[in-house]
Chains A and B, each alone.
Chain A
Amino acid sequence: MSGYPSSRSERVVIVGASLTGLHAADALRDGGFTGHITLVGAEPHPPYDRPPLSKRVLAGRMSADSTGLPQRQDLDAHWRLGNAAVALDRDARTVTLEDGTTLGFDKLLIATGTRARRWPDPDEAALTGVLSIRTREDAVELQARLAARPGRVLVIGAGFVGSEVASVCRELGLDVTVVERSAAPLAGALGAWAGTAAGRLQRRHGVDLRTDTSVVELEGDADGRLRRARLSDGAVLDVDVAVVALGAVRNVEWLAGSGLTVDSRGVRCDPYCRAVDADGRPCDDILAAGDVACWPHPLYEGLLAVEHWDNAVRQARVAATTILHGPVREHTALPTFWSNQFGLNIKVVGVPGRADQVAVLQGSVERAAFVAAYGRGGRVIGALAVNTPRALDAYAEMISRRMSFPPDLNAADAPDPVHVLDLAVPAAG
Protein backbone atom coordinates (compact mmCIF):
# COMPACT_ATOMS: atom_id res chain seq x y z
CA MET A 1 0.00 0.00 0.00
CA SER A 2 1.62 3.26 -1.04
CA GLY A 3 2.11 5.96 1.55
CA TYR A 4 2.75 3.39 4.27
CA PRO A 5 6.21 2.35 5.26
CA SER A 6 7.44 -0.78 3.68
CA SER A 7 10.82 0.13 2.34
CA ARG A 8 14.05 -0.25 4.24
CA SER A 9 14.57 3.46 4.36
CA GLU A 10 11.44 4.23 6.30
CA ARG A 11 11.98 5.46 9.84
CA VAL A 12 9.73 4.78 12.79
CA VAL A 13 10.58 6.60 16.01
CA ILE A 14 8.97 5.35 19.21
CA VAL A 15 9.19 7.74 22.14
CA GLY A 16 8.84 5.89 25.44
CA ALA A 17 10.76 2.62 25.79
CA SER A 18 8.49 0.74 28.14
CA LEU A 19 5.69 -1.78 27.72
CA THR A 20 3.93 0.02 24.86
CA GLY A 21 7.12 0.93 23.02
CA LEU A 22 8.50 -2.60 23.20
CA HIS A 23 5.30 -4.23 21.99
CA ALA A 24 4.90 -1.75 19.17
CA ALA A 25 8.43 -2.50 17.95
CA ASP A 26 7.74 -6.22 18.21
CA ALA A 27 4.48 -5.89 16.28
CA LEU A 28 6.16 -3.81 13.56
CA ARG A 29 8.72 -6.55 12.98
CA ASP A 30 6.00 -9.21 13.14
CA GLY A 31 4.20 -7.24 10.46
CA GLY A 32 7.21 -7.41 8.20
CA PHE A 33 8.52 -3.89 8.69
CA THR A 34 12.14 -3.76 7.52
CA GLY A 35 12.89 -0.07 8.04
CA HIS A 36 14.54 1.70 10.95
CA ILE A 37 13.06 1.55 14.43
CA THR A 38 14.42 3.88 17.09
CA LEU A 39 13.27 3.52 20.68
CA VAL A 40 13.79 6.64 22.77
CA GLY A 41 13.50 6.29 26.53
CA ALA A 42 13.90 8.81 29.33
CA GLU A 43 14.83 6.05 31.75
CA PRO A 44 18.29 4.47 31.53
CA HIS A 45 16.78 0.97 31.62
CA PRO A 46 15.56 -1.14 28.76
CA PRO A 47 11.82 -1.93 29.00
CA TYR A 48 10.77 -3.42 32.32
CA ASP A 49 7.54 -4.55 33.89
CA ARG A 50 5.91 -2.24 36.42
CA PRO A 51 3.19 -4.39 38.03
CA PRO A 52 5.68 -6.40 40.16
CA LEU A 53 7.09 -3.16 41.59
CA SER A 54 4.20 -2.69 44.00
CA LYS A 55 3.90 -6.41 44.66
CA ARG A 56 6.79 -8.89 44.69
CA VAL A 57 9.62 -6.37 44.33
CA LEU A 58 8.29 -4.34 47.22
CA ALA A 59 7.93 -7.47 49.31
CA GLY A 60 11.60 -8.26 48.66
CA ARG A 61 10.74 -11.49 46.84
CA MET A 62 11.99 -10.34 43.44
CA SER A 63 14.85 -8.06 42.50
CA ALA A 64 14.20 -4.93 40.47
CA ASP A 65 16.70 -6.24 37.88
CA SER A 66 14.46 -9.21 37.17
CA THR A 67 11.65 -6.98 35.97
CA GLY A 68 13.31 -6.57 32.55
CA LEU A 69 10.80 -7.62 29.89
CA PRO A 70 11.62 -10.38 27.43
CA GLN A 71 12.12 -9.66 23.77
CA ARG A 72 10.47 -12.22 21.47
CA GLN A 73 12.69 -11.57 18.50
CA ASP A 74 15.63 -9.52 17.30
CA LEU A 75 14.04 -6.09 17.01
CA ASP A 76 16.97 -4.69 15.07
CA ALA A 77 16.25 -1.39 16.79
CA HIS A 78 18.31 1.65 17.70
CA TRP A 79 18.00 2.37 21.38
CA ARG A 80 18.34 5.87 22.83
CA LEU A 81 17.97 5.25 26.52
CA GLY A 82 18.42 7.80 29.28
CA ASN A 83 17.61 10.49 26.76
CA ALA A 84 14.17 12.12 26.93
CA ALA A 85 12.40 13.66 23.97
CA VAL A 86 11.89 17.34 24.65
CA ALA A 87 10.09 18.59 21.53
CA LEU A 88 8.12 17.49 18.52
CA ASP A 89 8.11 19.47 15.28
CA ARG A 90 5.22 18.12 13.24
CA ASP A 91 5.98 20.01 10.05
CA ALA A 92 9.65 19.09 9.98
CA ARG A 93 8.81 15.59 11.25
CA THR A 94 11.51 15.67 13.89
CA VAL A 95 11.81 14.87 17.54
CA THR A 96 14.45 16.66 19.59
CA LEU A 97 16.11 14.85 22.44
CA GLU A 98 17.47 16.14 25.71
CA ASP A 99 21.06 15.81 24.51
CA GLY A 100 20.32 18.01 21.50
CA THR A 101 20.04 15.22 18.94
CA THR A 102 17.32 15.62 16.35
CA LEU A 103 15.68 12.49 15.01
CA GLY A 104 13.76 12.57 11.76
CA PHE A 105 10.83 10.22 11.35
CA ASP A 106 8.33 9.02 8.80
CA LYS A 107 6.08 7.70 11.56
CA LEU A 108 6.17 8.62 15.24
CA LEU A 109 4.62 6.65 18.06
CA ILE A 110 4.08 8.53 21.30
CA ALA A 111 4.30 6.05 24.17
CA THR A 112 5.47 8.22 27.04
CA GLY A 113 3.03 6.82 29.58
CA THR A 114 2.50 8.44 32.93
CA ARG A 115 4.38 9.31 36.10
CA ALA A 116 3.31 9.24 39.72
CA ARG A 117 1.37 12.29 40.84
CA ARG A 118 3.52 14.04 43.40
CA TRP A 119 2.50 15.25 46.82
CA PRO A 120 1.22 18.78 46.09
CA ASP A 121 3.41 20.69 48.56
CA PRO A 122 6.93 20.66 47.07
CA ASP A 123 8.76 21.15 50.41
CA GLU A 124 6.81 18.34 52.04
CA ALA A 125 7.24 16.18 48.95
CA ALA A 126 11.01 16.64 49.22
CA LEU A 127 11.19 15.24 52.78
CA THR A 128 13.24 12.07 53.11
CA GLY A 129 10.81 9.19 53.45
CA VAL A 130 8.09 10.64 51.21
CA LEU A 131 8.00 8.30 48.22
CA SER A 132 5.87 7.15 45.37
CA ILE A 133 6.10 4.08 43.22
CA ARG A 134 6.32 4.18 39.47
CA THR A 135 9.90 3.31 38.54
CA ARG A 136 12.44 0.65 39.42
CA GLU A 137 14.34 3.17 41.52
CA ASP A 138 11.17 4.06 43.43
CA ALA A 139 10.54 0.40 44.20
CA VAL A 140 14.13 -0.25 45.27
CA GLU A 141 14.08 2.71 47.64
CA LEU A 142 10.73 1.86 49.15
CA GLN A 143 11.62 -1.81 49.48
CA ALA A 144 14.78 -0.84 51.39
CA ARG A 145 12.76 1.38 53.70
CA LEU A 146 10.24 -1.35 54.39
CA ALA A 147 13.05 -3.84 54.98
CA ALA A 148 14.40 -1.46 57.65
CA ARG A 149 11.11 -2.10 59.49
CA PRO A 150 9.71 1.38 60.12
CA GLY A 151 7.34 1.73 63.06
CA ARG A 152 4.44 2.61 60.81
CA VAL A 153 3.98 3.20 57.10
CA LEU A 154 1.54 5.81 55.86
CA VAL A 155 -0.11 5.21 52.50
CA ILE A 156 -1.81 8.25 51.04
CA GLY A 157 -4.55 7.16 48.65
CA ALA A 158 -6.33 3.80 48.48
CA GLY A 159 -6.43 3.12 44.76
CA PHE A 160 -4.94 -0.08 43.38
CA VAL A 161 -1.30 0.85 43.91
CA GLY A 162 -1.90 2.21 47.42
CA SER A 163 -3.87 -0.89 48.38
CA GLU A 164 -1.16 -3.18 46.99
CA VAL A 165 1.46 -1.33 49.04
CA ALA A 166 -0.72 -1.73 52.14
CA SER A 167 -1.05 -5.43 51.38
CA VAL A 168 2.74 -5.83 51.14
CA CYS A 169 3.19 -3.95 54.43
CA ARG A 170 0.87 -6.38 56.18
CA GLU A 171 2.55 -9.33 54.52
CA LEU A 172 5.81 -8.04 56.01
CA GLY A 173 4.15 -7.60 59.40
CA LEU A 174 4.44 -3.81 59.31
CA ASP A 175 1.87 -1.46 60.78
CA VAL A 176 0.27 0.56 58.02
CA THR A 177 -2.22 3.40 57.97
CA VAL A 178 -4.06 4.07 54.73
CA VAL A 179 -5.67 7.48 54.40
CA GLU A 180 -8.31 7.81 51.71
CA ARG A 181 -10.28 10.94 50.97
CA SER A 182 -13.33 9.12 49.61
CA ALA A 183 -15.60 6.73 51.49
CA ALA A 184 -13.84 3.50 50.52
CA PRO A 185 -10.71 2.04 48.94
CA LEU A 186 -10.77 1.22 45.21
CA ALA A 187 -14.10 3.03 44.94
CA GLY A 188 -13.05 5.09 41.94
CA ALA A 189 -12.38 2.00 39.86
CA LEU A 190 -14.89 -0.44 41.32
CA GLY A 191 -17.67 1.68 42.81
CA ALA A 192 -18.79 2.13 46.41
CA TRP A 193 -20.13 -1.38 46.94
CA ALA A 194 -16.93 -3.24 46.07
CA GLY A 195 -14.94 -0.49 47.75
CA THR A 196 -16.78 -1.11 51.01
CA ALA A 197 -16.06 -4.83 50.73
CA ALA A 198 -12.39 -4.06 50.01
CA GLY A 199 -12.31 -1.83 53.10
CA ARG A 200 -13.64 -4.65 55.30
CA LEU A 201 -11.02 -6.97 53.84
CA GLN A 202 -8.20 -4.50 54.48
CA ARG A 203 -9.28 -3.97 58.08
CA ARG A 204 -9.52 -7.69 58.62
CA HIS A 205 -5.92 -7.91 57.47
CA GLY A 206 -4.92 -5.36 60.08
CA VAL A 207 -4.74 -2.23 57.92
CA ASP A 208 -5.54 0.95 59.84
CA LEU A 209 -7.83 2.31 57.12
CA ARG A 210 -9.10 5.87 57.51
CA THR A 211 -11.68 6.78 54.90
CA ASP A 212 -13.36 10.16 54.38
CA THR A 213 -10.07 11.54 55.65
CA SER A 214 -7.17 13.31 54.02
CA VAL A 215 -3.61 14.08 54.92
CA VAL A 216 -3.31 17.83 55.33
CA GLU A 217 0.35 18.16 56.23
CA LEU A 218 3.56 16.19 56.25
CA GLU A 219 6.04 17.38 58.85
CA GLY A 220 9.77 16.88 58.84
CA ASP A 221 12.57 17.32 61.37
CA ALA A 222 15.52 19.71 61.14
CA ASP A 223 17.33 17.23 58.88
CA GLY A 224 14.49 17.14 56.38
CA ARG A 225 13.26 13.71 57.38
CA LEU A 226 9.57 12.91 57.55
CA ARG A 227 8.40 12.61 61.15
CA ARG A 228 4.65 13.23 61.35
CA ALA A 229 1.50 13.45 59.27
CA ARG A 230 -1.51 15.55 60.19
CA LEU A 231 -4.90 14.34 59.06
CA SER A 232 -8.06 16.30 58.28
CA ASP A 233 -9.79 14.90 61.38
CA GLY A 234 -7.09 16.37 63.61
CA ALA A 235 -5.24 13.11 64.16
CA VAL A 236 -1.44 13.18 64.14
CA LEU A 237 0.53 10.10 63.09
CA ASP A 238 4.19 9.49 63.88
CA VAL A 239 5.59 8.13 60.61
CA ASP A 240 8.89 8.20 58.80
CA VAL A 241 7.70 6.58 55.57
CA ALA A 242 4.80 7.92 53.52
CA VAL A 243 3.83 6.45 50.16
CA VAL A 244 2.07 8.95 47.93
CA ALA A 245 -0.36 6.88 45.85
CA LEU A 246 -2.53 9.58 44.35
CA GLY A 247 -2.64 8.29 40.80
CA ALA A 248 -0.70 9.22 37.73
CA VAL A 249 -0.06 12.22 35.50
CA ARG A 250 0.44 11.81 31.76
CA ASN A 251 3.85 12.58 30.31
CA VAL A 252 2.73 15.05 27.66
CA GLU A 253 4.67 18.21 28.52
CA TRP A 254 7.20 17.53 25.75
CA LEU A 255 4.35 17.84 23.24
CA ALA A 256 3.58 21.46 24.18
CA GLY A 257 3.35 23.57 21.05
CA SER A 258 3.25 20.51 18.79
CA GLY A 259 -0.26 21.26 17.57
CA LEU A 260 -1.67 17.98 18.82
CA THR A 261 -4.77 17.82 21.02
CA VAL A 262 -3.35 17.06 24.44
CA ASP A 263 -4.79 17.54 27.90
CA SER A 264 -4.75 15.90 31.32
CA ARG A 265 -6.36 12.79 29.85
CA GLY A 266 -3.43 12.43 27.51
CA VAL A 267 -2.93 12.52 23.76
CA ARG A 268 -6.27 12.52 21.99
CA CYS A 269 -6.40 9.76 19.36
CA ASP A 270 -8.84 8.33 16.87
CA PRO A 271 -9.76 4.64 17.10
CA TYR A 272 -6.73 3.76 14.95
CA CYS A 273 -4.31 5.36 17.44
CA ARG A 274 -3.68 8.34 15.17
CA ALA A 275 -3.08 11.49 17.20
CA VAL A 276 -5.64 14.19 16.55
CA ASP A 277 -4.47 17.72 15.77
CA ALA A 278 -5.91 20.96 17.13
CA ASP A 279 -8.52 21.01 14.35
CA GLY A 280 -9.67 17.51 15.23
CA ARG A 281 -8.00 15.88 12.23
CA PRO A 282 -6.09 12.63 12.73
CA CYS A 283 -2.41 12.75 11.71
CA ASP A 284 -1.36 9.85 9.54
CA ASP A 285 2.23 10.01 10.69
CA ILE A 286 1.85 10.55 14.46
CA LEU A 287 0.29 7.94 16.71
CA ALA A 288 -0.07 7.35 20.42
CA ALA A 289 -0.74 4.27 22.53
CA GLY A 290 -0.66 2.99 26.09
CA ASP A 291 -1.12 4.98 29.29
CA VAL A 292 -0.54 8.30 27.51
CA ALA A 293 -3.39 7.92 24.99
CA CYS A 294 -7.13 8.54 25.16
CA TRP A 295 -9.59 7.61 22.44
CA PRO A 296 -13.29 7.05 21.70
CA HIS A 297 -14.39 3.49 22.41
CA PRO A 298 -17.56 2.26 20.70
CA LEU A 299 -18.97 0.78 23.92
CA TYR A 300 -18.39 3.75 26.22
CA GLU A 301 -19.41 7.40 26.17
CA GLY A 302 -16.82 10.09 25.82
CA LEU A 303 -13.14 9.26 25.74
CA LEU A 304 -11.48 6.32 27.37
CA ALA A 305 -8.04 6.63 28.98
CA VAL A 306 -6.85 3.29 30.29
CA GLU A 307 -3.81 2.92 32.53
CA HIS A 308 -3.48 -0.83 32.44
CA TRP A 309 -0.95 -3.34 31.21
CA ASP A 310 -3.25 -5.15 28.79
CA ASN A 311 -4.30 -1.96 27.07
CA ALA A 312 -0.69 -0.93 26.55
CA VAL A 313 0.06 -4.21 24.78
CA ARG A 314 -3.06 -4.28 22.63
CA GLN A 315 -3.05 -0.64 21.71
CA ALA A 316 0.62 -0.92 20.74
CA ARG A 317 -0.33 -3.64 18.27
CA VAL A 318 -3.14 -1.57 16.78
CA ALA A 319 -0.75 1.37 16.43
CA ALA A 320 1.74 -0.87 14.62
CA THR A 321 -1.00 -2.01 12.24
CA THR A 322 -1.91 1.60 11.48
CA ILE A 323 1.74 2.47 10.91
CA LEU A 324 2.08 -0.40 8.44
CA HIS A 325 -1.28 -0.45 6.72
CA GLY A 326 -3.15 2.74 7.58
CA PRO A 327 -6.50 2.99 9.37
CA VAL A 328 -7.77 -0.54 8.90
CA ARG A 329 -8.07 -1.88 12.45
CA GLU A 330 -9.79 -0.06 15.32
CA HIS A 331 -8.71 -0.36 18.94
CA THR A 332 -11.89 -1.74 20.45
CA ALA A 333 -10.48 -4.11 23.07
CA LEU A 334 -12.33 -4.00 26.36
CA PRO A 335 -10.30 -2.52 29.19
CA THR A 336 -9.16 -5.27 31.50
CA PHE A 337 -6.75 -5.51 34.39
CA TRP A 338 -5.72 -7.52 37.38
CA SER A 339 -4.44 -6.80 40.83
CA ASN A 340 -3.09 -9.11 43.48
CA GLN A 341 -3.53 -7.97 47.07
CA PHE A 342 -4.30 -9.55 50.41
CA GLY A 343 -3.89 -12.94 48.79
CA LEU A 344 -6.67 -12.33 46.28
CA ASN A 345 -6.70 -12.63 42.52
CA ILE A 346 -8.70 -9.62 41.39
CA LYS A 347 -9.62 -9.31 37.72
CA VAL A 348 -11.71 -6.62 36.12
CA VAL A 349 -13.14 -6.20 32.65
CA GLY A 350 -14.98 -3.22 31.21
CA VAL A 351 -15.40 0.02 33.14
CA PRO A 352 -17.06 -0.73 36.49
CA GLY A 353 -16.24 2.76 37.71
CA ARG A 354 -18.94 4.20 35.45
CA ALA A 355 -21.71 1.84 36.57
CA ASP A 356 -25.01 2.81 38.18
CA GLN A 357 -25.83 -0.71 39.38
CA VAL A 358 -24.00 -3.79 40.57
CA ALA A 359 -25.02 -7.35 41.40
CA VAL A 360 -23.15 -10.42 42.58
CA LEU A 361 -24.03 -13.11 40.03
CA GLN A 362 -21.76 -15.96 41.07
CA GLY A 363 -20.17 -17.13 44.29
CA SER A 364 -20.14 -15.24 47.55
CA VAL A 365 -18.37 -12.16 48.85
CA GLU A 366 -18.05 -13.72 52.32
CA ARG A 367 -16.09 -16.63 50.89
CA ALA A 368 -13.98 -14.18 48.86
CA ALA A 369 -14.73 -15.93 45.58
CA PHE A 370 -17.32 -14.18 43.45
CA VAL A 371 -18.17 -12.39 40.24
CA ALA A 372 -20.03 -9.10 40.28
CA ALA A 373 -21.50 -7.60 37.13
CA TYR A 374 -21.85 -3.86 36.69
CA GLY A 375 -24.59 -2.12 34.74
CA ARG A 376 -25.22 1.34 33.41
CA GLY A 377 -28.46 2.43 31.83
CA GLY A 378 -29.69 -1.16 31.93
CA ARG A 379 -26.82 -2.84 30.11
CA VAL A 380 -23.75 -4.70 31.29
CA ILE A 381 -20.65 -2.50 31.20
CA GLY A 382 -18.19 -4.23 33.51
CA ALA A 383 -17.42 -7.15 35.76
CA LEU A 384 -15.24 -7.88 38.75
CA ALA A 385 -13.98 -11.39 39.45
CA VAL A 386 -12.36 -12.16 42.78
CA ASN A 387 -10.59 -15.52 42.96
CA THR A 388 -12.65 -16.66 39.97
CA PRO A 389 -10.42 -15.76 37.01
CA ARG A 390 -11.94 -18.30 34.64
CA ALA A 391 -15.39 -16.74 34.88
CA LEU A 392 -14.50 -13.42 33.34
CA ASP A 393 -14.46 -14.24 29.62
CA ALA A 394 -18.20 -14.85 29.67
CA TYR A 395 -18.76 -11.39 31.13
CA ALA A 396 -16.49 -9.76 28.56
CA GLU A 397 -18.75 -11.32 25.96
CA MET A 398 -21.86 -9.87 27.65
CA ILE A 399 -20.29 -6.42 27.71
CA SER A 400 -19.31 -6.59 24.05
CA ARG A 401 -22.82 -7.70 23.12
CA ARG A 402 -24.36 -4.93 25.23
CA MET A 403 -26.48 -7.43 27.11
CA SER A 404 -29.16 -6.06 29.38
CA PHE A 405 -28.43 -5.73 33.07
CA PRO A 406 -28.78 -7.73 35.22
CA PRO A 407 -28.02 -10.55 32.81
CA ASP A 408 -29.95 -13.75 33.28
CA LEU A 409 -27.25 -16.35 33.77
CA ASN A 410 -28.75 -19.26 35.60
CA ALA A 411 -25.27 -19.94 36.93
CA ALA A 412 -25.09 -22.97 39.18
CA ASP A 413 -23.32 -20.92 41.84
CA ALA A 414 -25.63 -17.89 41.60
CA PRO A 415 -26.88 -16.37 44.85
CA ASP A 416 -30.62 -16.80 45.29
CA PRO A 417 -32.08 -14.26 44.96
CA VAL A 418 -29.71 -11.99 43.04
CA HIS A 419 -29.64 -8.54 44.67
CA VAL A 420 -29.18 -5.54 42.43
CA LEU A 421 -27.68 -2.56 44.24
CA ASP A 422 -27.83 1.02 43.05
CA LEU A 423 -24.60 2.99 42.88
CA ALA A 424 -24.18 6.75 42.84
CA VAL A 425 -24.08 7.64 39.16
CA PRO A 426 -20.64 8.86 38.15
CA ALA A 427 -20.28 11.29 35.27
CA ALA A 428 -19.12 9.90 31.94
CA GLY A 429 -15.46 10.67 31.31
Chain B
Amino acid sequence: MRVMVDLARCQSYGQCVFAAPEIFEISGQEVLEYDSAPSDEWRLHALRARAACPVQAITIGPAAGPGQDLRQPPATRPAADSVGVLR
Protein backbone atom coordinates (compact mmCIF):
# COMPACT_ATOMS: atom_id res chain seq x y z
CA MET B 1 0.00 0.00 0.00
CA ARG B 2 1.20 3.45 -0.89
CA VAL B 3 -0.17 6.68 0.48
CA MET B 4 0.24 10.04 -1.20
CA VAL B 5 -0.91 13.39 0.12
CA ASP B 6 -1.34 16.24 -2.29
CA LEU B 7 0.49 18.75 -0.12
CA ALA B 8 -0.39 21.61 -2.45
CA ARG B 9 -3.99 20.98 -1.53
CA CYS B 10 -3.48 19.91 2.11
CA GLN B 11 -4.43 22.60 4.60
CA SER B 12 -3.22 20.79 7.70
CA TYR B 13 -6.68 20.26 9.15
CA GLY B 14 -5.25 17.15 10.77
CA GLN B 15 -8.32 14.94 10.33
CA CYS B 16 -6.05 12.23 8.91
CA VAL B 17 -4.00 12.31 12.10
CA PHE B 18 -7.09 11.40 14.12
CA ALA B 19 -8.16 8.71 11.67
CA ALA B 20 -4.74 7.10 11.19
CA PRO B 21 -2.18 8.24 13.77
CA GLU B 22 0.04 5.34 12.66
CA ILE B 23 0.46 7.03 9.28
CA PHE B 24 -0.01 10.78 9.66
CA GLU B 25 1.27 13.36 12.07
CA ILE B 26 1.48 17.12 12.28
CA SER B 27 5.05 18.02 13.01
CA GLY B 28 5.78 21.47 14.37
CA GLN B 29 2.82 23.77 14.02
CA GLU B 30 1.47 23.04 10.60
CA VAL B 31 3.71 20.57 8.77
CA LEU B 32 1.97 17.34 7.79
CA GLU B 33 4.28 14.34 7.66
CA TYR B 34 3.21 10.88 6.68
CA ASP B 35 4.46 7.38 6.13
CA SER B 36 3.99 6.83 2.41
CA ALA B 37 4.46 3.06 2.64
CA PRO B 38 2.61 1.97 5.76
CA SER B 39 2.04 -1.62 6.70
CA ASP B 40 -1.11 -3.16 5.20
CA GLU B 41 -2.45 -3.67 8.71
CA TRP B 42 -3.31 0.06 8.74
CA ARG B 43 -5.28 -0.10 5.53
CA LEU B 44 -8.63 0.54 7.17
CA HIS B 45 -7.21 3.50 9.04
CA ALA B 46 -5.73 4.86 5.83
CA LEU B 47 -9.08 4.58 4.06
CA ARG B 48 -10.76 6.38 6.97
CA ALA B 49 -8.19 9.12 6.76
CA ARG B 50 -8.85 9.50 3.05
CA ALA B 51 -12.57 9.76 3.68
CA ALA B 52 -12.06 12.24 6.51
CA CYS B 53 -9.83 14.66 4.61
CA PRO B 54 -11.81 17.89 4.15
CA VAL B 55 -9.90 18.77 0.97
CA GLN B 56 -9.64 15.24 -0.45
CA ALA B 57 -5.88 15.35 -0.68
CA ILE B 58 -5.16 11.68 0.05
CA THR B 59 -4.59 8.97 -2.55
CA ILE B 60 -4.16 5.33 -1.60
CA GLY B 61 -3.24 2.45 -3.83
CA PRO B 62 -0.66 -0.15 -4.65
CA ALA B 63 2.74 1.20 -5.73
CA ALA B 64 2.46 2.28 -9.36
CA GLY B 65 4.35 0.36 -11.97
CA PRO B 66 4.46 -2.69 -14.18
CA GLY B 67 3.61 -5.04 -11.30
CA GLN B 68 0.19 -3.46 -11.04
CA ASP B 69 -0.88 -3.82 -14.62
CA LEU B 70 -2.64 -6.88 -15.89
CA ARG B 71 -0.95 -6.99 -19.26
CA GLN B 72 2.41 -7.47 -17.61
CA PRO B 73 3.57 -10.63 -15.92
CA PRO B 74 2.74 -10.09 -12.25
CA ALA B 75 5.91 -8.96 -10.52
CA THR B 76 6.57 -9.93 -6.96
CA ARG B 77 6.05 -6.88 -4.88
CA PRO B 78 8.47 -6.14 -2.08
CA ALA B 79 6.90 -6.17 1.34
CA ALA B 80 5.76 -2.74 2.39
CA ASP B 81 8.90 -1.24 3.66
CA SER B 82 9.01 -0.27 7.22
CA VAL B 83 10.85 2.88 7.99
CA GLY B 84 7.59 2.58 9.62
CA VAL B 85 5.55 4.46 11.96
CA LEU B 86 6.37 8.11 12.29
CA ARG B 87 8.12 9.18 15.42
Contacts and interface: CB of A to CB of B under 8 A. Distances in A.
Given A22-B64, A49-B36, A69-B63, A387 B29 contact: yes
Given A46-B63, A47-B64, A310 B69 contact: no
B36 A62 contact: yes
A8 interface: no
Interface in A210-246: none
A65 B35 CA distance: 12
Interface in B1-47: 1-4, 6-13, 27-33, 35-37
Interface string A75-93: 1111101000000000000
A232 to B, nearest CB: 35
Contacts of A52: 36
Interface stretch (A151-159, A332-340, A415-423): A332-340
A75 B12 CA distance: 30
A22 B62 CA distance: 13
Interface residues of A, number: 46
B8 A68 contact: no
B72 to A, nearest CB: 7
| A-side interface mostly | mixed
Nearest to B61: A70
Contacts of A78: 69, 71-72
A196 interface: no
Interface string B44-86: 0000000000000001111111111111100000100101001
A326 to B, nearest CB: 27
A33 to B, nearest CB: 14
B29 A70 contact: no
A46 B31 contact: no
B23 to A, nearest CB: 12
A65 B81 contact: yes
A61 interface: yes
A340 B33 CA distance: 10
Contacts of A309: 6-8
Contacts of A340: 31
Contacts of B2: 66, 68-71
Given A66-B2, A345-B12, A369-B29, 13 more contacts: A56-B33, A65-B78, A66-B37, A67-B36, A68-B64, A68-B65, A70-B62, A75-B68, A79-B65, A81-B66, A343-B31, A345-B30, A390-B11
Interface of A: 22, 45-47, 49, 51-52, 56, 61-63, 65-79, 81, 308-310, 313, 336-338, 340, 343-345, 347, 369, 387-390, 392-393
26 contacts: A46-B63, A46-B65, A46-B66, A47-B65, A49-B36, A63-B37, A65-B81, A68-B2, A68-B36, A68-B64, A69-B4, A70-B4, A70-B59, A71-B61, A71-B65, A74-B69, A79-B66, A309-B7, A310-B6, A310-B8, A343-B29, A389-B10, A389-B11, A390-B11, A390-B13, A392-B11
